[in-house]
């Protein structure tokens, strides 16, 4: 299986290079990067979601620590 890794990697990278060489793919990539560049905060919703999840995890850990502290006492 190790002998197939390098040729498959080369084929994959060359395939990506050929895809990026087409004008249609280049135009689509340019549009995507332009939209990201002009948006106010492209990752704002994702950051809010992760912050909320971290708060939930912290709250759960605090409750667990309290429960374990009460059992020891």
Domain residue extents for the chain: 1-39, 42-73
Predicted local confidence at residue 52, as pLDDT = 96
What pLDDT sits at residue 73?
65
Assign 22 to helix, strand or coil.
coil
Residues 6+ apart with CB under 8 A from 15: none
Give mean pLDDT, residues 4-27: 83
- The token pair at 65 is 């620590």
Please tell me the pTM assigned to this model.
Answer: 0.45
Summarize the confidence of residues 17-26 as an average pLDDT: 82
- Of the listed ranges 11-20, 45-54, 61-70, the one predicted with least confidence: 11-20
Residue 42 DSSP SS3: coil
């Amino acid at each position: 299986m190790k002998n197939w890794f390098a040729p498959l990697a080369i084929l994959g990278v060359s395939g990506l290079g050929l895809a990026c060489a087409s004008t249609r793919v280049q135009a689509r990539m340019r549009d995507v990067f332009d939209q990201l560049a002009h948006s106010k905060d492209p990752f704002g919703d994702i950051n809010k979601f992760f912050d909320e999840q971290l708060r939930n995890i912290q709250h759960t850990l605090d409750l667990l620590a309290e429960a374990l502290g009460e059992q020891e006492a």
